[in-house]
Amino acid sequence: MKPDYQSKLRIHLLFWIFYYILEAYLEFYWSRYRFPDFTWQLRLWNTLILELGYLLVKIPLAYSLLYVYEKVSVKGIFKYLFYIFIIIVAVLGHRFLTHFIIYPYIYGVEETLDGKENSGFINGYVFFNSFMDLIFMVGLIFGVEITRQKNILKNQISQLKSEKLDQELTMLKAQINPHFLFNTLNNIYGMALKKADETPDVILQLSKVMRYNIYEAAEKTISIEKDLENIKDFVQIQKIRYHHLIVNLKENIDNPSQEISPLILIQFIENAFKHGVSESLGNSFINIKIELKKGILTYYVENSKEEKAHEYSTKIGFKNIRRQLELLYPKHHLTVKNKDDRYIVQLIIDFNDTSNA
C-alpha cells in the first residue's frame, strides 16, 4: 500500500469516526424534545442505529462527488449536472431511509410535521432538511480532502526545492574539486621533472585531501574537527609548493563534533592561494583564525596580494562561495575587505540559529 493511500485512508477513517460521534450527539440531544416519553437508554440506542443507517447514504454520496471532482474529465455544465444528479439521488435515499425505515422501525412511530400531520415521503420542509444534512457532510469531507491534497502538494514542492538545492550545492562543490586537483597535479608534474625531494610528500598529502573530497564531502554535514584536518592537509600541500610562504593558522574549538557543511571553509583559503599568494612577489603570507565558541563560528582569513591582482577571477570565486552560504546558512555574516596589499575575509555562522540548520 502506497504511503499516500495509507495517509488518505487514515485521515478519512478518522473523519468518519468524528463525524459519526458529532451527528450521534446532536441527534441524541434533540431526540429528548421529539420523543420525551423515551428513556435515555432507548434514545441513545435508536440514535446510534439510525446514524449508522444514514452513513449508508452519506458515504456513497461523499465518494461519488469526490470521484467526479477528481477523476471525471467532463467540464462545464455537464460536470455540474453530474453533481446535481448524485445529490438528488442521495436526498431521495435519505428521505426513503428516514420515512420508511427509521421512523416506523426504529422509533416505532409515523414521521410527522410538528407531531401533527404525516409529513409524507416528499415534502418541501423535510426534503430541505435532508438536503441540508447531506450538504453539511459534503462540505466537511471536501474540506478535509482538499486540505489533505494541499498539504501533500506543499510537501512535494518543499521536497522538490530541497532536491534542487542539493543538486545546486553538488554542482557548486564539483566546480571546486577538479580545479584544485588539476592545479596540484600540474605542480606535482613540475616537481617530478625537477626531481624534487618533496614530491612523495605532496602526493601523500594530495591523496588525503582527495579522499576527503570524494568520501567525506559527499555528506551533507561533517564534524568541524574533520573539516579542519582537511584544511591543514591542504595548507601543507601549498606550503611545500611555495617555500617563501608564511602561514599562521590559529584554532580555538570548544566543540570539535559541531557539524558543518564540508568544503565551505577551505574555499576561502583556496581562494587566498589562487588569487593572492600565487600572484604575490617576495614574501607572501596567509593568516587563518578559526574560533568556535558556544555554537558561534568566527572564521578569519587574511592574505597578501599583488597590487594589481586579477579582480575578475577573484569575484567569480567569491560568487560561488556566497551562493553556497546563502543556501546552507541564510543568516551568515560575510565581510570581504579588499585593501591595497591584502585581502581580509571574515565569516560568522551561528549554529544556534535554527534557520541555519
| Residue spans per domain, the chain | 3-156, 197-356
How does pLDDT run across 120-140, given as a tens digit for each residue?
777 777 888 889 999 999 999
Q: Which residue has the higher pLDDT, 177 or 71?
A: 71
Class for domain 197-356, per CATH?
A: alpha beta
Answer for the pair 129, 111: CB distance below 8 angstroms, yes or no.
Answer: no
Give dist(CA 16, CA 310) in Å, integer: 70
Give dist(CA 213, CA 224) in Å, integer: 15
Give dist(CA 134, CA 94) in Å, integer: 8
Task: Inform me whether the pLDDT recorded for 143 exceeds 70.
Answer: yes
**Residue 144 dihedral angles phi and psi, to the nearest 5°:** -65, -45
Mean pLDDT to the nearest integer, 255-270: 88
The total of other beta-carbon atoms located within 10 Å of residue 98's CB is: 22
On average, the pLDDT of the chain sits at 82
Identify the band that residue 233 occupies on the pLDDT scale cut at 50, 70 and 90.
confident
- The pLDDT, as a whole number, for residue 313 is 47
Identify the band that residue 259 occupies on the pLDDT scale cut at 50, 70 and 90.
very high
Give dist(CA 119, CA 116) in Å, integer: 9
Task: Inform me whether the pLDDT recorded for 115 exceeds 60.
Answer: no
C-alpha grid cell, residue 173: 562543490
**Residue 244 dihedral angles phi and psi, to the nearest 5°:** -80, -5
C-alpha grid cell, residue 228: 579542519
**Residue 250 dihedral angles phi and psi, to the nearest 5°:** -115, 135
- The pLDDT, as a whole number, for residue 338 is 86
- The pLDDT, as a whole number, for residue 312 is 46
Residue 45: which residues within 8 A CB-CB, separation 6 or more? none
- The pLDDT, as a whole number, for residue 354 is 65
Task: Inform me whether the pLDDT recorded for 294 exceeds 80.
Answer: yes
- The pLDDT, as a whole number, for residue 158 is 76
Q: Which residue has the cell 420523543?
A: 35
**Residue 297 dihedral angles phi and psi, to the nearest 5°:** -95, 130
